[in-house]
Each structure stands twice: as C-alpha cells, then as structure tokens.
Amino acid sequence: MLLLITGASDGTADRLVLGYGEGVFRFNYDLWHQYSVLYTPEGWSIENPAGLKITDQTASACFWWKPLQYYPGNVDRAIKEEVKYFLRDIYGWFRVRGLAKGNSPNFHSEMGKVNILSVAKKYFPIPRSAYSVGLIGLDEFSDKLIVKSLASAQSDDKTVLMTTSVPSIEALDPKFPWFIQDEIESSWDVTVFLCGRGLFAFKRSRADIDGVDWRTEQDFSQATQEWFPFDLSEENSKHLLSLASELGVDFGRFDFMSDRKSLESLFFLELNAAGQWVFLDIADRYGLVDAVVSWLKAEGVGSDSSTSNQT
C-alpha cells in the first residue's frame, strides 16, 4: 500500500488517488488531528475516520507531495512541529528501507540552484550566473541581466521576487544578496517532466510574454492551453537523463529556455525537485497522471515509468 503524504485540498493528490485505485492511503497534514496514529520502533499504524488503515505490514511505498503547503489549523507552533517531525520521521522509515518514492522533502536544502547549475553545465549550456553579496566579481556579465530568488520565499509583506530584468548591476543595492543571471533571448520556455526514466517535454511560446517570468503571465482559467508537448532530441534526452542520474533524481521538472533559432538548443535553468506537473496535462491528454501512477506502483526506487518519451 502506498502512503501518500499531502494536503486535503491538493488536486494533484486527488488525481493520483483516483488513478491509483485501491492500495493507497492518503495522509493529509492539514487534517492531522483526524487520524489515529501509533508509531513505535517496532511498528506503526495510521487509520483515517472512515476506517481505512495502513501499517508497517501493509505499506510498500511512500510519496511526499507538498504536505507542508497546507494550513494545519490554529494550533501552537510546537504542536505543528511535533506533527511535522512525525511525518519526516515516518518518511525516513520508508527511506531506510528503500521504499521512498521521488525526492526527499529536504532535497533543495542540500541541492540548491547554483550547485545544480554547476553540475548541469556539463550537459547543457547555462546562463552566466552568480550569487553575490557586495556585487563583486561580476565584470563578465552582459548588459542584459535578470535577478531571481534562490529560495522563492515570501517577503514579510507577502510579495515575491519573480525573475525580473534589471537595468544594470550598478542599479542594484550591494548590501543585499542577489542571484543574477545573463538574460537569455529565447523563443520558447521549455520544461521537461521526469518520471522514472520517462521524459515529457513541453514548450510555451514567449511571443506574448511581456516580462521574463512566465509564472506572472499564466492563464488560470485553464481555458487556453499554454504548454504543448514536443519531441526532445535524442541528444538532449540522453544528456538530461545523465544529469538526473548525476543529481540522483528520477522525478522532477527541469526548466530550460530555447535560443532564438531552435528548440534543440536548450539552456538549462533549474530543477524543481518537487515541481508541479499536472498543469502540463490538465485535460489528461498526454498520460502524465498514468505515468506517475505506474511509477508509484513499480517496485523499488528508481523504477522505470511504464511510459517513456511523450507524444
């Protein structure tokens, strides 16, 4: 039985449960108080209010899907931390037994954007990139620059730093931490979803984007398809799987930009180890949910998805 650790209103989790059928137990962090839990060094059990139950004897895999994004109720911070600790602890129970699927919730605490770029440059061109306090050593950057957030955290007043063009390095306050990159002149945003050994490549035209960050220009109505599948070249597929192998991942979304000339010429931007992916296939046309369900059902970590390259 799969233990799916997530949140109650997560639509991706809904789709996974529906696709999985029987044999999945969903634990919603925000509803933690509704489950009956016993966790001991000898064994464990979790039961939901409907009587569904998972134990150390029936559990076969665990998938961590954004549980901490959901509001756990107005309880003391110390209590929330106890529940979070339990979730991480039981995820570790699966991990030491080789039963955890996907990436650890701590993945990006250890593998950050700059570190990943340092590995990715062996396989793909990358934009010139630097994290700097004091704005030192940036002489080789072009005159077209962007800044972006490393942590993607909200500020105290609930705003976020999207990928943003800046006029020059001299325009930035050197007292702050900056993650700076050369701007890529691109015709397409490209994102490739990795599931097992399956690669699902999608492109989004930049023709109608005013800024540099497509996230600011999304169509939340879902009325218009924005991302379209395309065939990743054999060489890019090979390089991407090599990169994934070196990073030790078999799940996640890799973001690229094409150059102006060809979709085969890709600049690597970043890996989202817990990246969303259903928005790429909102109408279930390309088999992403089926691929993830097959991958979750497959025995062993790093198992192949039953579906490989898309379209």
Partner 1 sequence: MKVKKELKQKIAAGMLLTPMLLSSAPLSIQAGEDFSYDHGLQVNTQADGRVMSNTYSSTTYNGTQTYNYKGDPSDSDNDSDADPYG
Q: Which of residues 238-297 bind partner 1 (CB under 8 A)?
A: 253, 272-279, 282-283
Q: How far apart are CA 257 and CA 259, in angstroms?
A: 7
**Residue numbers 162-191 binding partner 1 by CB under 8 A:** 162, 164, 166-167, 171-174, 176-178
Comparison of 166 and 241: residue with beta carbon closer to partner 1: 166
Asked whether position 115 contacts partner 1 by CB under 8 A, the answer is no
Alpha-carbon dihedral sign for residues 242, 246, 252, 256: negative
- Residues 237 and 245 sit within 8 Å (Cβ to Cβ): no
Q: How far apart are CA 288 and CA 307, in angstroms?
A: 9
Give the nearest distance from C-beta 234 to partner 1 in angstroms.
Answer: 27
The answer to the question of residue 228 lying near partner 1 (CB under 8 A) is no
CB-nearer residue toward partner 1: 164 or 265 = 164
C-beta closer to partner 1: residue 22 or 139: 22
Which SS3 state, helix, strand or coil, does residue 83 take? Answer: helix
Q: Kindly tell me which of 107 and 295 has the beta carbon lying closer to partner 1.
A: 107
Pick the binder of partner 1 from 8, 119, 130, 301 (CB under 8 A). 8
Provide the greatest CA pair distance for the chain. Answer: 63
* Residue 138 in contact with partner 1, rule: CB under 8 A: no
To partner 1, the closest distance from the beta carbon of 192 in angstroms equals 14
Q: In this structure, are strands 164-166 and 145-148 parallel, antiparallel, or unpaired?
A: antiparallel
DSSP 11-25: HHHHHHHHHH-SSEE
> Considering the complex, what minimum distance in angstroms separates the CB of residue 227 from partner 1?
10
Q: What gap in Å lies between CA 58 and CA 48, rounded to an integer?
A: 15
Structure tokens at 181: 């990159």
Closest distance of CB 293 from partner 1, Å: 13
Query: What 3-state class would DSSP assign to 90?
Result: helix
Under 8 Å between Cβ of 5 and 87: yes
Choices 117-125, 148-156, 228-236, 237-245 (CB under 8 A): range interacting with partner 1: 148-156
Which CB atom, from 50 or from 207, has the smaller least distance to partner 1?
50
The residue type found at 238 is K
Give the pairing type, strands 177-182 and 145-148. antiparallel
We find the least distance from the C-beta atom of residue 237 to partner 1, in angstroms, to be: 22
Number of residues that make up the chain: 311
How far apart CA 101 and CA 260 sit, in angstroms, is 37
Q: What are residue 217's phi and psi, to 5 degrees?
A: -125, 30
Total binding residues toward partner 1, as defined by CB under 8 A:
73
Least spacing, CB of residue 250 vs partner 1, in Å: 17
Q: By CB under 8 A, is residue 216 in contact with partner 1? A: yes
Which residue from 1, 5, 28, 269 is in contact with partner 1, where contact means CB under 8 A?
Answer: 28
Alpha helices per DSSP H over 21-112: 77-96, 107-110
Whose Cβ is closer to partner 1: residue 9's or residue 262's? 9
Cβ-based nearer residue to partner 1, 135 or 304: 135
- Provide the minimum distance between the beta carbon of 141 and partner 1 in the complex, in angstroms, as a whole number: 15
